[in-house]
Chains A and B, each alone.
Chain A
């Protein structure tokens, strides 16, 4: 089978955002972005945080990227990415691709980058290249990847591969990241202040840029929401990430800023480990799904800033079926009946939740407790510190918890991780039929056919209910009226998508 999935010219892929450079004067305006997450250093492979990974893609260039207008992965640094056969993918670099220092981008650089990601102890993203049995440079412009099993998620994984220079790494080692961060992306690295900020500046002449993209962008850590919003009001930043519901009205009232929202690609769910009692009974799991009044929580606590989920995915994600309206309406009587039919009325359960990790997580789970008790559960709410909860979840030690899972533009990796047999101990769910359905979607390279197979897996998963799917938060960003920026469903602020008015 030789089916090309991604054979678009890179220049065509970016044409939707590119402006006519000759018609406008280049802006010298700078834009500061207040962000929530960490800036852990110069190494582009060390930190899996989405926003930071995206900054590295702007500097070095990643092999692919997700085009939210086209709803598909398109080449970024590459010219084409195609599947040659079910186990083989080929990446072709464009003729004459150059780094910021004028050196050519070579196929050997991609091989080196993938090798570093997979094997170097400093890599925090080795999962991206797991299952790739061989990566080789065929010539200076062509890379061939051989996978152990058919894997339709390769273009998704390549979106996390920042292409660094093999020659510079061989010459300088790890110091290259700090002393010679020459990439081939639309922006250049200017400055990194660890744990504080990162500054990138425009790589003039790059085809993705237009004259009114900012000349410099500073991503500045501001962990407190009040501070991000105040800095926006004060004109210290032009974009503020993650404005919580209670501060949205304040931003909307600002004369110099406004709110821009997008849906997230993060599913929020209640996980129930079938390895533990009473979650070994499907009736108990389904009772939870019927017991939670999600509409009331979204209305009262999240102030409407979330979209209800009928499964793990929503519109715009692979596997979303608009016809599938879900099977779990809010029905406390039915929940009680299910629990009674399993002889579990009055069963004691502990609901664990992070505090401050997700929007209103504690308030939401506090509201869930009486709903679950109305269905017949006896509930204890557990609120451990995030590091403790997360370590225990990863080891499969938490039977019932409220959690989110992001990076789900292509949900395959997440669904395999949480629900496939042996995917991870987090839920410990195992169902051969679901395994078959998930394996089938991953091996399907035709997008339409894959979508159908994913939909079948989602339907089966929802019925089996190892998790009760709750909602996706709407992500609110504060945006200065001096710029135009429409946030995307992933936490990304790409310079070429920010326009100075």
Chain B
């Protein structure tokens, strides 16, 4: 493990500072990035640094953050910034951990991101079930405002910014940008047809930048240390560190920070401390409920946000399954999740996830008929190829892998 493997960008002060005290954060060098941004940089220079850093969205899609900023920045007039904290992927709680341990780091990132694209208003779209986290953020926003980091004339400059915390109603699909925007506008939480993209026509019809909370938390470090230095961390295709969320049969479960590009084996062994005593690895799921399943012989795959990568990093969740796990239980929980969370807008997803759940229930109870096998094949195909948004594809991923790699069904 080289020295950069131990580099902590987001988790550095976790557990050492009181998250409810802004003073603690300032004492360890917090809010210095805002100072640097306001006193020494033009917004364009900041965007240049972010582009240089190679930072990509940590929500799962892996789109270049710098390019997204630029796309919004080049528009004139009113703009909005939204921090996506709707984390609802089962088994993923990295954003919650950020708020729990260092909310001011997130706020600092939000403020810089919003100011860099000339937004005067920023939203934090938080998962409706994160009640404690909302309280922490509310307190943090108040403290930051009384320290002049938010409001009119931020640290006596010409910059203004208002931050509003908006609680979602707990729908998975609202983590998708266009659905999230619908939700803030008071509409039904369901994705919109693109184009137009939110970077041109977003919230209230204005250009809008939506960034994941973890992405945003990287911004202060990049502003202080420069984009070049960030780009040298981790894998070249998607540099930086990543919060891995470990769960299942590993010895240490929880949120860990490590460079991108780690192999799956390294994440399990080095961050997770290997498997629990008496447990034997069967497979693991990478990136939450919508993630791929990987077997033991694939542990050498490195985890990046590369579009071509076999095993996408997704939300960063790594869930390890023991040989004795009940695969049908697992599939039923996944099918149930997607059946519940589908927005119901398009036919294949609404009807397909529902039928898939029905069949999985029968599968769990015992044998299924040849007719059901045909049905599973058809449903997975249509989810994969014809749905309105990627949600349908997500619903099929784990199933397809279970069929192909774990050979649970003779299709």
Are A and B part of the same complex? no
Residues of A bordering B, CB below 8 Å? none
